[in-house]
Amino acid sequence: MKNLKQKYALSDEGARSMIIASVANIFYNLVLFSPVVLLYFLIKDILGDGLEDKATFYLTGICIWVLLLIVTAMIQYNTCFFSTYKESGVRRITLAEKLRKLPLSFFAKKDCADLTSALMDDAASIEQASSHFIPQFIGSVISTCILSASLFFINWKMALAAVWMLPISLIIVTFSRKVQYKLGKKKSVAAVEMTEKIQECLESVRDLRQNNAQESYFQNVKAKIHEVEKRMLWNELGTGLFVTNAEMLLKFGIATTALVGAMLLKSGEIDVLMFFLFLIIVSRLYDPLMTSLEHFAAIIGLDVNSERLNEILCHKELQGSEELKVNGGDIVFEDVKFSYQDGKKILDGVSFTAKQGEVTALIGPSGSGKTTVSRLAARFWDIDSGKITVGGQDISKVDTETLMSLYSIVFQDVTLFNNTVLENIRIGDKNATDEQVKAAAELANCTEFVENLPDKWNTIIGENGKKLSGGERQRISIARAFLKNAPIILLDEASASLDVENETLIQQSLSKLIKGKTVLVIAHRLRTIQGANKIITIKDGKAWEESEKFFDNPSAGNICNSIAG
């Protein structure tokens, strides 16, 4: 059970179902083979002139065989397919739940195309193998071993002539594992790169047309598509070389059985009936295994898919208590050190306090770590060392979803969904009524532009709000924050890319939003932080603190622009 779960990214129920499906295939294959025994006795009675007395026996045997075939076929189909498709749904939901709990450091290594490929393509490959390949292969191998072992009780010399190539064929295909893994890895990488390129092309088609760059860009897309085609051909060739040779070797079993049988028949060790029995057996013995060798190659090729899925399923989660024990809303950084995957230190001993009821501004050069500080405050990542507390509680000990109930975040880059205006704002509080949503929208200065939309509040705004302007999209984001009404506000240059008119509206909305709350704001413009109670300068991984007296200095504007720029 444990090995199956790890090998094919299965749940407990999925692993159990796969075992049951494999057992069902064993019985199905044995039932398929059973007419050979009936045929042997039929020929024996024909040669012995005893057929007339046993006609009822053979008719009954045929009826029983048909009934067993129907029953085992139904069981085999249900266990292989219905259970697999149920498990496929469980797998995708489990992957989605896992992604929901992973730190952002994981997503920094994986882009959207890579994760989409894992959730869709890799999961689909496992699904197909679980329904069509793995149980059938296990069932074929075990049933063939049972039949082969039984032959040795009849005549060991003939049995050896019939089955000597079976283990060799399996070994040949097994040796293809490393080749298939390398080829599969390259194919997977090429497929992800192709998806990325196509996705990028669709997203940037407007800019490509504007700069007359379609032709040159499409050549790159075609190159990625051709690379995938080439990798798939190499993959098929690498698999085919091993599988074809193994299948050809199986055919030698018929020849060796006939040759050894002829020699034993000539020497008088077996009779014609025994010779005939083994010829019938070898003509049927290899059929399940012939198909299963192709299945085996496909199963080996799943190593890459399973590895990619297990990379998600086995990744360390951000865990913590679901109980909040905060006293107030102060955010305290104590000697915080942090680096991303490359090991480069972003923060090297940052300490400061953002007090409840005050606006704390973070300024500094681009790439200094301002955004990182705000993300760490909400535990988007876990720090390397030091301590971050909210209301006196260490956030590393709090479940991330529980912790996020304390935060409203307004990013510079807004993410909207292809849904109505109402539902996009309701993300701030899924239980909010329409009246509460509209009240939050009013505070964010959304009402005027929403009322001018074709369907007003029920207008579908398109993918990522493409039917709205930048200022309108940003105000919907602020309306979410109003609706959530969390005690801590994180603002990441919420108005930096807007025109003066929209920026004024946004600033008015934000001024209402932050009253009486702990506010951490990232800023490049002096205008953004003129009302701040405290300024924290982030530079070279360190933090320097300035009080509100900073603004009493006549040259404060020049100093601030120098630091932030």
**Using one digit for the tens of pLDDT, what is the confidence trace for 350-379?**
888 888 888 888 887 777 778 888 888 888
What SS3 string covers 519-536?
A: EEEECCCHHHHCCCCEEE
Is 400 a member of any domain?
Answer: yes
Q: Decide if 544 contacts 531 (C-beta within 8 A).
A: no
Residue 503 has pLDDT above 70, yes or no: no
- Supply the pLDDT for residue 51: 64
* Distance of alpha carbon 302 from alpha carbon 121, whole angstroms: 11
Distances (CA, A) of 11 to 3, 21, 418: 11, 15, 33
pTM of the model: 0.63
Calpha distance 437→452 (Å, rounded): 17
Does the pLDDT of residue 496 top 70, yes or no?
Answer: no
Is the predicted pLDDT of residue 159 greater than 80, yes or no? Answer: yes
DSSP 3-state assignment of 277? helix
For range 27-48, the mean pLDDT: 82
Higher pLDDT, 561 or 298: 298
Q: Looking at the structure, do residues 254 and 373 belong to the same domain, yes or no?
A: no
125: domain CATH number? 1.20.1560.10
Model confidence at 499, pLDDT cuts 50, 70, 90, reads: low
Residue 295 in this model has a pLDDT that exceeds 80? no
Q: What is the CATH number of the domain that holds 356?
A: 3.40.50.300
Interhelix angle for 35-47 vs 55-77, to 10°?
A: 170
For residues 79 and 216, state if they share a domain.
yes
Domain boundary among 281, 313, 345: 313
Considering only CA atoms, give the Rg of the chain: 35
Structural domain for 390, as ranges:
331-564
Most confident of the ranges 116-120, 180-184, 234-238, 448-452: 448-452
pLDDT number for residue 67: 93
Residues 353 and 308 in one domain: no
Residue 511: pLDDT over 50: yes
Residue 321 lies in a domain: no
Within a domain: 124: yes
Let me know whether 95 and 202 are in one domain: yes
Whether 251 maps to a domain, the answer reads: yes
Question: Quick one: 153 and 87 in the same domain?
Answer: yes
pLDDT score recorded for residue 71: 93
pLDDT tens string 410-450: 777 778 888 888 888 888 888 888 888 888 888 878 888 88
To 10 degrees, the CA torsion angle through 513, 514, 518, 521? 100
Residue range 6-18: mean pLDDT, rounded: 81
Q: Are residues 181 and 52 in the same domain?
A: yes
Do 180 and 232 form a contact (C-beta atoms < 8 A)? no
Give alpha helix (H) positions in 268-346.
272-285, 287-300, 302-313
pLDDT at 50: 63
The lowest-confidence range among 259-268, 326-335, 467-476, 486-495 is: 486-495
| Lowest mean per-residue pLDDT among 88-92, 202-206, 250-254, 362-366 | 202-206
Average of per-residue pLDDT values in the chain: 79
Q: Bigger pLDDT: 142 or 499?
A: 142
The answer on 342 and 215 residing in a single domain is no
Orientation angle between helical segments 434-443 and 500-513, nearest 10 degrees: 120
Q: What is the DSSP string of 179-190?
A: HHHHHHHHHHHH
CA gap 225, 194 in Å, rounded: 6
Taking the C-alpha atoms of residue 393 and residue 405, their distance in angstroms, rounded to an integer, is 14
Identify the band that residue 497 occupies on the pLDDT scale cut at 50, 70 and 90.
low
Q: Which of 279, 313, 347 is the last residue of a domain?
A: 313
Instruction: Tally the residues of the chain.
Output: 565
Pairing of strands 518-522, 488-492: parallel
Residues 152 and 7 grouped into a single domain? yes
Confidence of residue 561 (pLDDT cuts 50, 70, 90): very low
Residue 512 reports pLDDT greater than 80: no
Candidates 175, 167, 133; CA nearest to 148 is: 167
Domain membership flag for residue 160: yes
Out of 264, 281, 313, pick the residue that ends a domain: 313
Same domain, residue pair 338 and 308: no
Instruction: Label residue 52 by pLDDT band (50, 70, 90).
Output: low
Between 20 and 38, residue with greater pLDDT: 20
Is 70 exceeded by the pLDDT of residue 143? yes
Residue 325 within a domain: no
Residue 320 lies in a domain: no
User: Total structural domains in the chain?
Assistant: 2
At residue 494, the pLDDT reads 61
The band of 70, judged by pLDDT with boundaries at 50, 70 and 90, is very high
Q: CA 54 to CA 32: how far, in whole Å?
A: 22
pLDDT of residue 506: 66
The reply to whether 206 and 268 lie within a common domain is yes
Residue 183 within any structural domain of the chain: yes
In 3D space, the residue among 353, 331, 358, 347 whose CA is nearest the CA of residue 529 turns out to be 358
Which amino acid type is present at position 84?
T
For tokens 């509100």, the residue is: 548
**pLDDT class of 563 with cuts at 50, 70, 90:** very low
pLDDT score, position 505:
67
Angle at 483 between CA 363 and CA 430, to 5 degrees: 120
Per-residue pLDDT, averaged over 317-328, amounts to 76
DSSP letters for 79-112:
IIIIHHHHHHHHHHHHHHHHHHHS-HHHHHH--H
Do 94 and 138 lie in a common domain? Answer: yes
Q: Which of 211-215, 226-230, 392-396, 499-503 has the lowest mean pLDDT?
A: 499-503
Instruction: Answer yes or no: do 406 and 459 share one domain.
Output: yes
The percentage of residues in the chain with a pLDDT greater than 70, rounded to a whole number, is 90
